[in-house]
Structure 1
Amino acid sequence: MANLSSSRPVEAQRLLKLGLAIVAGLGQGTLALGACPAAAQQAAPDDELRPLPAQPPEGEAEDTPATAPLSILDPAPQPEPVPQSLDDLIPADAVTNPDVWAAAGVADPSPVVMPDSAFAEADSPLSDDVLAEFLPPPDPALQPAVDGIFADFALEEPQPLTPDPELEALASIAAPVLGELPELAETKIGNTLVLALPMAANAFPEKDAFIERFKDLSTLREFDDGEESRPQVAARARADEELLGDILRTYGYYDGEIVRQLSGGRRAGNNSDEAERAAENAAREPSVRFDILPGARYSFGRIDLGALPALPEPDVTRLTAAFGIKPGDPLYADRIIERELELRVALGESGYPFAEVAEPELLIDHARTEGDLSLLVQSGGKFVFGKVVSGDPGFLSGRHLSRIARFDEGNVFQQSLETDLRRAIIATGLVSSVTVTPRETRAPKDGQPGEVALDVAFERAPVRTIAGAIGYGTEDGFKLEGRWEHRNLFPPEGALRLRGILGTREALASVGIRRNNFRGRDQVLTVDVFGSDITTQAVDSRGFGTRATFEKVSNILFQKPLSWQIGGELLYTDERNRTVRDAPGIPLPRRAFLIGGLFGSVTLDGSDDLLDPSSGYRATLFLAPEASRSEGSQSFYLRSQADASYYKSIGSTVLATRVRAATIVGASFDDIAPSRRLYAGGGGSVRGYGFQGVGPRNDRGESTGGASLLEFSLEARIETPLLDGAVEVVPFFDAGAVGLGSTPDFRFIRYGAGVGLRYKTTFGPIRVDVATPINPTEFDSPVVVYVSLGQAF
């Protein structure tokens, strides 16, 4: 009977105990349910069953106490008040300071007192002795009938069930085997924030990158400088906890755990004094520590690239290599985005202008600690370039646009070349907006690529420009300059330019025709007709002439490793060397020269930037054979010049050096017009001296120039923290010498030094140099200031 009662539901057991209590009372001739509080309370824990009041026997007064020969009927002490809600069970300290309350533990636990009753003395309320006393065994006469009923009763032995692999796998996920926690090393992020990460390098290889990314995004660190209350820190700590989990998953740790501790946590220890001190410190300076437990790093599993594997070779190999992700690689979310972009670019560069790449989908399998990646690709067919079709052929023809393009018909389509064409059209300055759209003109067939035409639509920009400038310089005096230009008067890209200068030392009028992208990209044809009256520190000349140039230029849009220039000029000039001081009684005769010649130059550019190089080199060679006729005599000579510069970065500082050498051979010094001789000095030469202020002088103080030149410059471009690094300080040293003969000599060598400032802009640095001559002559100023756009060299 005891075994049967132990298998019954709880409520059945309670009712059974209540019944036994009633039977016990009846066995003594007394019914007193209220005298058995233990049984009554167990039978009605939720006030569903209430103890009945004791009834006195008939004929007795109500106040007559009932006799109770058994100890179980003795009155029990009144129970403690029962809590009415869950909040009544929570101490106040656990709400106001949970960390300290939990760390303090139970100071004086109360012993459990068993009730003084018959049930308490017995081994079990339902022991065999108790049951035998109240429930006597059945009548022996009935035992044969009971045995007959169960004579043929038998139970088959149960067989074990077949194991279910899915349930076993589910059990392994639901109840993972926990290993030992790794040893952690703290990294302080701010005044209120500490990260504890695995100390072993191989436990979390991405630790440094993880910390840097968290610093950029942390909510707690963003407000680290302010005084924060405990609730504010706790709220921001919860946001940072979610952020840390997201970053862990970004690096492939999908089973990682973040343990957040506010103001000490488990580090306060179990000592109550330490816990109290930790609470005081937490209230004064709340802080947060995050324990980072990365767990296992996941890797890429299956990779599905859609139709990409069906493409022909070598495209499939090249594109698969461009994507770069293979099964078994670490599962980095950033890498998926990066390689998706690389794949899109590679498709466009391999002849697939209409390729489509779906959004990546990642399926995480925790059982395999892998992620299966799907990036479905539809190639859309392979194509080659066809014609370039202009939307406004009268303004910019399709033929001209084809010359601007860096591809020919039949070349495999490349997205970068399409983009380059768009940028080149904008660079003409004739349009305000451009749209280039590939259009299929022949579909791929029998393994042969199709063909696409490029439809170019654009909006015209204003083509007329009026510009002017007014200024003053210590060398040039006052100057007023004006310019008018029509940039497409002779389509395509044929410009007419009118230019005039009126100033203290210069007067100029010129008419020029310029055609950009002449018979090819970045090729410029220029023809100018001019008249001038110019006075410099060394030369006073007036004349007129014409000059024509055809050149392959390097520009910001496309810096070329090789550029060149060829041309010719014819001019008539009446000039003389200019004296710096008066020479009374000595006339300064003028001479007329008729000069004709050709010229050409070639430039090798291995620098990293056109306007502000920081590494690499540049080298230019210039040659100009000329013929000159003056006062009945004729001369032939060759003017040549070589420039070389070198740049090297050392940290945030750029060291730059330049060497220039020039010579004129084939004619005597006096037969060369003063304006064609060699001079040094100025902002692009030897700083500290005026323009053309370095070189030999005659007895009247005239700077005569020479037939040979040698210059050297060295400067350090030092970056400063001013304006986020936009300002540089540049100390420099220059030296230069001009010789009368065609072979350089150093009789008239001059040195200059100074310091400058560079302010970097999107169109190049603005330069301000202050220099002083080290070995000046009587004609040189003690300080010279230069202001210009771009570096000195």
Structure 2
Amino acid sequence: MKNLLVCIFCFAAVSVAAEELASASRWNTSVKPYKFELQGELVRTLNEYRDSVNLSGISLEKSRQIRAETERLRLLLRSRGYYQASIESEWPEGEARPDYQIILGDRFTISSIELEGNFQPVDDKWQTLKVGDDLSATDVVSQQTKLKSYIEDQACYYNINVSHKVVLDEAQRSGALTLVAYVADPAEFGTVSFTGEDEDKQSFLLRSSGIKPGQCYKASSVDSAVISLLDVGLYSRVKPTSIRTADGNVDVNFRLTKKKKRTLSASIGWETEAGPIAGAGWLHRDLFSSAQSLELELSVQETNQTASATVIIPSFFDRRNRLNWENTVEHDTSDYETYTLSSTTTLERQASSTSYYEYGIGFSQENENVDGDWDNYHQIRLPLLYRYDTVEDPFDPETGYRLSFELEPVWDIDDNFTPFLLTGIGVQTFYELDPRLTIANRVKWSSLWYGDYFGSTQENIPESEWLTAGGSTSIRGYAYESIELAEKYEADDDDAGDIAGATQRWISNNELRFRLSESWGLVTFFDVGSVSEEINPLNQDIWYAGAGAGIRFYTSFTPIRLDVAFPLNPRDEDESFIVYVSLGQAF
């Protein structure tokens, strides 16, 4: 027993004493000829292995570590088509990590593509690879997935099995690719049922799932139904079960785990640009027994008090639609005193995995006290939005891009429905330079259009509609909406008064995001923008720029960001720096 205790103590001491393996970097992993993206993949492979060893607490000898890492590097290189790459390693004396020198050699290509099995395509729309392409495992798996999707689109089969095999020709530095596709058991959807929910919701859930009995069976339709049912907002878990019956149909059952119908919330916090804030909310998730939700919210700050009531109807005539009716009352004294009442109904439609539409109609009443006199505005609004989005993680994007187009005609009810127009065009790009390094960019052009063509004057436009800049999602380093038109001027119309803001706004945000670990990251940023009456960005009189750095703490849901920004074109009223704390990336 004494010896056993001694052995346990010795093992614990060895585990504690085991030194963590130092992270790999590009400096320790050379690639010839140089391939930036491939080098990043190799570094990530090394770090994933070292992280797993560090978590286990095992102490490795240097020779064993090099053997294990060399094998992992070789597997990655072969999967990218470098079957004859050479890997040399050395561990410099006094250094915490080994160095690797990789000579890639020729990359293997695809010499032929054949299709075997009992399914024959009617055209070549399934084919993404061609003879002469690089023999990359990623591309081959993507081709395999594309073929399976093609088969699903062409026919109804319960069993679809797609695989591949490659025969290498070392002398020719090429590989013959054969895709193998076997299909069996043609099927349609039979009964679709839902367990864990009341009987009166079955028709609503069937519509929300998007599956109809008698419809061609596709496994992807079941996956899509799970996402749609979760989007309803009533369920924390959706588990599907598919069974092929004797008549050849496929019955599907969805087991649903409900959320609580009602939620009461309260919060106390602090916002960078508004100071202390207190809030309260109440949510009913199933108001009329078809997942219609009612959310009441109250927010109180020193310069802003807002109350809102929002009704949301999911699966509005179609599972891809959601109807929102938002009603807001707001009092604001941050710049000048305003009372605003608005009611807007919008229809959101997720047309595809990348395309999103939003359109609606709204009414707003705004009372403004800018120069000691109250001005009253009553408006009808038609907000329109289209967004094309290839980003996978909306809260922490690393790759992909977004395009957005906004159009909002506004009519002044008090002046014979005289119109003006708000527009916006935006582009966001995210490029992964390295598994831990991402470049993020955003450019947006916003405009306010009025004048003779519309028959409107500046008197038809509330102070709050003129374009401004500055703030945590605009040009960091400047106070919220503190950047206005550089020079106000007297309008030709003597009754019109002073121009209060700009009609054109250009904003560019640029970030370099570096992931330090699973939980922490660093960001450096540079923002620049202008507000004026000049459309051409090359003809702007004044550009405002801000720069700074920040840290990110990554949670399971969204990053928490803290940024410190400095104005590069400071005015007398500007602070020397501003600190921003918020949820999610800046864009």
TM-score normalised per structure 1: 0.49
Does the C-alpha gap of structure 1 residues 509 and 609 become closer, same or farther in structure 2, counting only changes over 3 Å?
A: closer
1:608 to partner: Cα distance: 4.1
Which of 562, 565, 571 is 1:777 aligned to? 571
| Contact residue 395 and residue 491 of structure 1 kept, 8 A | no
Matches within 5 A, 1:545-556: 545-553=342-350
Match of 1:467 in 2: 265
CA deviation profile, 1:544-573 (whole Å, cap 9, x unmatched): 23111111259xxxx831101001111111
- The alignment status of 1:526 with 2:330, answered yes or no, reads no
Does the C-alpha gap of structure 1 residues 599 and 650 become closer, same or farther in structure 2, counting only changes over 3 Å?
A: same
Which of 374, 379, 382 is 1:590 aligned to? 374
Q: Which residue identity does 1:737 align to in structure 2?
A: S
SS in 2 for 1:426: helix
Counterparts of 2:357 and 2:270, CA distance in 1? 34
| Contact residue 277 and residue 301 of structure 2 kept, 8 A | yes
Counterparts of 1:479 and 1:622, CA distance in 2? 30
CA deviation profile, 1:654-701 (whole Å, cap 9, x unmatched): 11211111111124334310122211111111000111011226799x
1:709 to partner: Cα distance: 0.7
Q: Which residue identity does 2:578 align to in structure 1?
A: V
| Contact residue 286 and residue 293 of structure 2 kept, 8 A | yes
SS in 1 for 2:285: strand
SS in 2 for 1:475: coil
| Contact residue 119 and residue 183 of structure 2 kept, 8 A | no
Matches within 5 A, 1:227-266: none
Counterparts of 2:536 and 2:227, CA distance in 1? 47
Which of 185, 209, 212 is 1:405 aligned to? 209
Does the C-alpha gap of structure 1 residues 576 and 396 become closer, same or farther in structure 2, counting only changes over 3 Å?
A: farther
Counterparts of 1:653 and 1:792, CA distance in 2? 16
Which of 688, 697, 706 is 2:477 aligned to? 688
SS in 2 for 1:399: helix
Matches within 5 A, 1:52-91: none
Counterparts of 1:563 and 1:389, CA distance in 2? 29
Does the C-alpha gap of structure 1 residues 417 and 616 become closer, same or farther in structure 2, counting only changes over 3 Å?
A: same
Counterparts of 2:231 and 2:381, CA distance in 1? 33
Match of 1:731 in 2: 524
1:770 to partner: Cα distance: 0.6
Matches within 5 A, 1:100-111: none
Matches within 5 A, 1:290-305: none
- The alignment status of 1:637 with 2:420, answered yes or no, reads yes
Matches within 5 A, 1:354-433: 381-391=185-195, 394=198, 397-433=201-237
Counterparts of 1:575 and 1:728, CA distance in 2? 43
Q: Which residue identity does 2:347 align to in structure 1?
A: F
Does the C-alpha gap of structure 1 residues 560 and 540 become closer, same or farther in structure 2, counting only changes over 3 Å?
A: farther
Match of 1:718 in 2: 514
Matches within 5 A, 1:469-618: 469-536=267-334, 538-553=335-350, 560-577=353-370, 588-618=372-402
Counterparts of 1:636 and 1:733, CA distance in 2? 36
Match of 1:672 in 2: 461
SS in 2 for 1:518: coil
Counterparts of 1:552 and 1:423, CA distance in 2? 15
CA deviation profile, 1:119-177 (whole Å, cap 9, x unmatched): xxxxxxxxxxxxxxxxxxxxxxxxxxxxxxxxxxxxxxxxxxxxxxxxxxxxxxxxxxx
- The alignment status of 1:625 with 2:409, answered yes or no, reads yes
Relative to structure 2, which stretch is displaced further, 520-529 or 384-393?
A: 384-393
Q: Which residue identity does 1:498 align to in structure 2?
A: L
Does the C-alpha gap of structure 1 residues 715 and 550 become closer, same or farther in structure 2, counting only changes over 3 Å?
A: same
Match of 2:580 in 1: 786
Counterparts of 1:705 and 1:727, CA distance in 2? 40
Matches within 5 A, 1:134-153: none
- The alignment status of 1:763 with 2:546, answered yes or no, reads no
| Contact residue 696 and residue 739 of structure 1 kept, 8 A | yes
Does the C-alpha gap of structure 1 residues 312 and 451 become closer, same or farther in structure 2, counting only changes over 3 Å?
A: farther
CA deviation profile, 1:616-649 (whole Å, cap 9, x unmatched): 221101000111255x686311110111112222
Does the C-alpha gap of structure 1 residues 659 and 531 become closer, same or farther in structure 2, counting only changes over 3 Å?
A: same
Does the C-alpha gap of structure 1 residues 433 and 742 become closer, same or farther in structure 2, counting only changes over 3 Å?
A: closer
Structure with higher Rg: it is: 1
SS in 2 for 1:397: helix
Counterparts of 2:259 and 2:398, CA distance in 1? 35
Counterparts of 1:756 and 1:717, CA distance in 2? 9
Higher relative contact order (CA 8 A, sep 6+): 2
| Contact residue 378 and residue 413 of structure 2 kept, 8 A | yes
1:353 to partner: Cα distance: 4.6
Q: Which residue identity does 2:506 align to in structure 1?
A: L
Does the C-alpha gap of structure 1 residues 641 and 396 become closer, same or farther in structure 2, counting only changes over 3 Å?
A: farther
SS in 2 for 1:420: helix
SS in 2 for 1:488: coil
Does the C-alpha gap of structure 1 residues 742 and 541 become closer, same or farther in structure 2, counting only changes over 3 Å?
A: farther
Match of 1:650 in 2: 433
Match of 1:436 in 2: 240
TM-score normalised per structure 2: 0.65
CA deviation profile, 1:170-228 (whole Å, cap 9, x unmatched): xxxxxxxxxxxxxxxxxxxx9xxxxxxxxxxxxxxxxx9xxx999999xxx955469xx
Match of 2:176 in 1: none
1:595 to partner: Cα distance: 1.1
| Contact residue 403 and residue 521 of structure 1 kept, 8 A | yes
Q: Which residue identity does 2:315 align to in structure 1?
A: N
Does the C-alpha gap of structure 1 residues 770 and 452 become closer, same or farther in structure 2, counting only changes over 3 Å?
A: same
Does the C-alpha gap of structure 1 residues 528 and 561 become closer, same or farther in structure 2, counting only changes over 3 Å?
A: same
| Contact residue 603 and residue 618 of structure 1 kept, 8 A | yes
Higher strand share: 2
Equivalent residues, number: 443
- What 5-or-longer segments of structure 1 have no aligned partner? 1-189, 191-207, 227-235, 245-308, 316-320, 322-337, 357-377, 444-449, 578-586
Q: Which residue identity does 1:685 align to in structure 2?
A: S
Q: Which residue identity does 2:583 align to in structure 1?
A: L
Counterparts of 1:699 and 1:625, CA distance in 2? 25
| Contact residue 287 and residue 294 of structure 2 kept, 8 A | yes
Q: Which residue identity does 1:611 align to in structure 2?
A: F
Counterparts of 1:495 and 1:489, CA distance in 2? 6
Match of 1:709 in 2: 505
SS in 1 for 2:484: coil
Counterparts of 2:194 and 2:467, CA distance in 1? 49
Counterparts of 2:282 and 2:49, CA distance in 1? 57
| Contact residue 696 and residue 748 of structure 1 kept, 8 A | no
Q: Which residue identity does 1:600 align to in structure 2?
A: L
Counterparts of 2:244 and 2:519, CA distance in 1? 47
Match of 1:746 in 2: 540
| Contact residue 772 and residue 784 of structure 1 kept, 8 A | yes
